[in-house]
Amino acid sequence: MTTWITLKTTNARWEAELMQQVLAAHDIPSRIIDRGMSPYFGAGSPAALQVRSQDQWTALLLLSSPEEQAGVSDNN
């Protein structure tokens, strides 16, 4: 059985779709879960990006910004 974890949440589905494309380019399976209706017209649809638990750390590294990665290396 595959265990899926929520990696990122966003208020705009297009952001989740963009992140999903980045992961797909690196052969990391992912899925998007809709989180309900948008709060007002034109705001986009809230969504959550999920990956398999074994891909969690690789996916986080791929989706993190250079500033976040620099902060991690500065702490070592």
**pLDDT-flagged residues of the chain (< 70):** 38-43, 68-76
Q: Which amino acid is at 3?
A: T
Phi, psi of 7 (to 5 degrees): -95, -45
CATH class, range 4-67: alpha beta
Alpha helices (H) along 1-76: 13-25, 56-63, 66-74
pLDDT computed for residue 42 by the predictor? 58
The 3-state DSSP class for residue 45 equals: coil
Give the Cα-Cα-Cα angle 22, 25, 75 (nearest 5 degrees).
Answer: 55
pLDDT at residue number 59: 97
In whole angstroms, what is the distance from residue 47 CA to residue 65 CA? 20
Report the predicted TM-score, pTM, of the whole model to 2 decimal places. Answer: 0.77
